[in-house]
Structure 1
Amino acid sequence: MPSHLSADRSAPQPPERDAVDALINRALLLRGDVDAVRRDTSVIDDDDPRLRWRRALCELAVHQLDDLGEHLGQLRDGVPTPRTADAEPSEDPRRATAVTPPVGSLLSRVGSAEWNLLTDEVDWSGELYQIFGRDPGKGALSLDELPSLLLAEDQPLLTSMVTDCLVDGRPIDGEFRILLPDGGMRTLHMMGEPVLDADGCTASMWAVLRDVSRLRRGQHILGRTQEALRRREQRAQAEHRMAVEFQEAVLPPRHGSVPASGRGTGGLDIAAHYLPSGARDLIGGDWYDALVLPDGRTMLTVGDLTGHGIQATSSMAMMLGALRGMAVAGVDPGALMGHLNQLIECSAQPALGSAVCCRFDPATGTLAWAQAGHPAPLLFRNGVGRPLPAPDGVLLGAASGVTYEQDHAALVPGDLLLLYTEGLTRHSNRGAGPELLLGLAPRLGQARTAQDCVRIVVEELGSAERLDDACVLAARVEA
């Protein structure tokens, strides 16, 4: 193919071979590192858009590094000549190539062309015939014929680029899609510029065309995974906001005294606090509640349903509503647990849950309570704490037809009752169990109000990294 350089331009000198070899080695090392990451992502779950996006990004990076390495190799070795000087001339010079590059390699995806405006001659490299899927025996396409292979919507773009180059002398740089004889489609990137004669007029136009179909497919896959990830994150954020609003609407305030109680109400001073998990996007099904009943007794409860998000908070709201209704109707704590178990069995969203329900009678100082697979309330008296002996009770939703035992405890003025969910003491860096709370007995014994007791618990355990959300409810028996 004639040189695209005009006679008054000097050819650029080739770069130093050692410098190019060094670049190739660096590209190969980087390619190996990226490929290792790609292999690690090949075993991931295809249902996760974030992981699919990572894999698509690795695939795209590997393809680009492959192209970079082959580009540098061609730069080092020089442009291959169509034939050696002593070789017999081909019958058709358009068929003569040095070595047919393997299909799919970089060299088979880059071709060159020159259109001579003075002689109407067209010169295509052998690679360009491969790119267009065209038989070299049919000859190269003229500038007038070339748009016929493009998709209809891309034809104006090519016409505009060629016109700008030939008329205004502007460089060519753009992409278009072609249809192959077998019905396939390829995306080509075309770069070129006009070749001027001695009088400064356009004598011909040369161009390099590169098949970027694989690159664009990788970018398209990456774009789709990014969009899927964006939609998923938006949906997760919306669900998180809904779950938080739902939870706040159902539960009493997370901080401060429970509104239905307070000092002098039902013989108890009550306060509660909700603590989110370390992963703040996980809103669980923990609840707490305190309710003064029509007969003057007070219902205290905490519980935890499995799951997170809207489903967990909606199930929690259903459970808490049922619990309040049965408590107001005078159902005893043991029977109440049995009804909650039946409610979960009949629910359209099966779940497992734990709960504890207490009913305090200020007239007698008696606490009636039952539990369903939940930590027992802690009783603190005179600076010493202990868990109440737990009556029998399995997790809610774990079995059918279960009977929940009910136990009683006598409370005296000054006693502190602490109800909590397991997430309060189950941390990534600390042990589990009531020992953490029982160790606070001396400090809790000096507290003057239920709110002070909650504050002590939160100061001690609230800042630790927790695996799940949690809540704590403190009730002090007043004189």
Structure 2
Amino acid sequence: MFRRRPSPDGDELLARLGSLTSLARERAEFQRSQVELAIALQRGMLPADLPAAPGLRLAARYVPACYGLNVGGDWYDAFRLPDGRIGLSIGDVQGHNIEAAAFMGQVRVGLRALASVTSDPGDLLAVTNDLLMSLGTDLFATCTFMRLDPATGLLESARAGHIPCVWATADGRAGITEDEGGPPLGLQEGMRYPVYRYRVTIGGVFVLVTDGVVEGPSLDLDEGLDQTVRLAGVAAVAGLGADALAGAVIKGAERVGHEDDAAVLVVRHDGATDHGR
């Protein structure tokens, strides 16, 4: 069968289409490499291990965003303080790219370093905020920092623009912490952050989350927090371990269709402590 040869204009069009296809492929490859780099950087900055204490168990989970390029801003951390207590932090950096992942590392390391000077949660957030302001970056972060005494189960907590925590007890009570927080870190100098005190009772749990766990296109924040409250309540009554609860909470995040990365940090008290301290 006779075929007409492409006209010069047709040849030029085919060449342009080929060029555009090649350019699109290169951009897609670059975009994918950026996402992979951000995920690797973010995961590399999360703690490899969580501290242990008699009667207390910690567990954590992290997953990248379900859709798009929104990765890099969330973190969790737990570390031993000089006086034997445990520092717990969870937070979310504004932005979802490599710069956000790098800034997240600065915030997390800054909290650890400054906690050796002052571990009071309110003071620690205040000095970390001033440190971030001195860096001159346009990024900011929400954060919750808690100081946990393993001997008594006392939790001292301060929030910097972050969503509240979820708690549950072995006798079936569960809810959301109702404390007053301060503004996010890195927005304004001289901020103060009030400290609130709680206690993790035997069989009880505290669950710290980022907004990717409880808020998204399919679920609003109140519904997402209520979902986490129900999970925590069931886990406390049933005696589920910290690791199982962390897994259930991060699994529940799939319901929100989260466009952000998501992190969970669980504290569970499953043994007796020395209340005579």
CA distance in 1 between partners of 2:11 and 2:243 (Å): 62
CA distance in 2 between partners of 1:297 and 1:311 (Å): 32
CA distance in 2 between partners of 1:345 and 1:429 (Å): 35
Deviations 1:333-367 (A, max 9, x none): 11221223223323354213211000011234321
Secondary structure of 1:473's aligned partner: strand
Deviations 1:412-442 (A, max 9, x none): 2222111001110113222323212112244
Query: What are the equivalent positions in structure 2 for 1:406-445 lying under 5 Å apart?
Result: 406-433=195-222, 434-445=225-236
Query: What are the equivalent positions in structure 2 for 1:45-194 lying under 5 Å apart?
Result: none
Query: What are the equivalent positions in structure 2 for 1:57-456 lying under 5 Å apart?
Result: 212=8, 214-253=9-48, 259-262=49-52, 265=53, 267-279=55-67, 281-347=69-135, 349-381=137-169, 382-433=171-222, 434-445=225-236, 446-456=238-248
- Deviation, structure 1 residue 322: 0.6
Residues 233, 448 of structure 1: alpha-carbon distance in 2 compared, 3 angstrom cutoff: same
Aligned-residue sequence identity (percent) comes to: 28
**Unpaired runs of at least 5, structure 2:** 273-277
The TM-score, its normalising length taken from structure 1, stands at: 0.51
Deviations 1:33-89 (A, max 9, x none): xxxxxxxxxxxxxxxxxxxxxxxxxxxxxxxxxxxxxx9xxxxxxxxxxxxxxxxxx
CA distance in 1 between partners of 2:250 and 2:31 (Å): 28
Deviations 1:238-262 (A, max 9, x none): 2222212212211035xxxxx2324
Residue 380 of structure 1 aligns with an amino acid whose one-letter code is A
4+ residue stretches of structure 1 with deviation over 6 A? none
Residues 395, 330 of structure 1: alpha-carbon distance in 2 compared, 3 angstrom cutoff: closer
CA distance in 2 between partners of 1:234 and 1:402 (Å): 43
RMSD: 2.3
Q: Which residue in the other structure is 1:473 paired with?
A: 265
Residues 464, 295 of structure 1: alpha-carbon distance in 2 compared, 3 angstrom cutoff: same
**Unpaired runs of at least 5, structure 1:** 1-70, 72-172, 174-188, 190-209, 254-258
Residues 344, 230 of structure 1: alpha-carbon distance in 2 compared, 3 angstrom cutoff: farther
The TM-score, its normalising length taken from structure 2, stands at: 0.85
CA distance in 2 between partners of 1:231 and 1:349 (Å): 31
Residues 462, 429 of structure 1: alpha-carbon distance in 2 compared, 3 angstrom cutoff: closer
Count of aligned pairs between the two proteins: 264
CA distance in 1 between partners of 2:195 and 2:243 (Å): 28
Contact kept? 1:353, 1:397, Cα under 8 Å: yes
Residues 442, 390 of structure 1: alpha-carbon distance in 2 compared, 3 angstrom cutoff: closer
Q: Which residue in the other structure is 2:275 paired with?
A: none
Secondary structure of 1:439's aligned partner: helix
Residues 390, 236 of structure 1: alpha-carbon distance in 2 compared, 3 angstrom cutoff: same
CA distance in 2 between partners of 1:443 and 1:466 (Å): 23
Contact kept? 2:231, 2:245, Cα under 8 Å: no
CA distance in 1 between partners of 2:254 and 2:218 (Å): 13
CA distance in 2 between partners of 1:320 and 1:298 (Å): 15
Residue 260 of structure 1 aligns with an amino acid whose one-letter code is L
Contact kept? 1:444, 1:456, Cα under 8 Å: no
CA distance in 1 between partners of 2:262 and 2:163 (Å): 13
Secondary structure of 2:95's aligned partner: strand
- Deviation, structure 1 residue 267: 4.9
Residues 231, 343 of structure 1: alpha-carbon distance in 2 compared, 3 angstrom cutoff: farther
Secondary structure of 1:404's aligned partner: coil
Contact kept? 1:384, 1:441, Cα under 8 Å: no
Contact kept? 2:86, 2:147, Cα under 8 Å: yes
* Bigger relative contact order (CA 8 A; separation at least 6): 2
CA distance in 2 between partners of 1:368 and 1:402 (Å): 18
CA distance in 1 between partners of 2:166 and 2:198 (Å): 12
Is the radius of gyration larger for structure 1 or structure 2? 1
- Deviation, structure 1 residue 320: 0.7
Residues 360, 268 of structure 1: alpha-carbon distance in 2 compared, 3 angstrom cutoff: same
Q: More displaced, 222-231 or 323-332?
A: 222-231
Residues 232, 340 of structure 1: alpha-carbon distance in 2 compared, 3 angstrom cutoff: farther
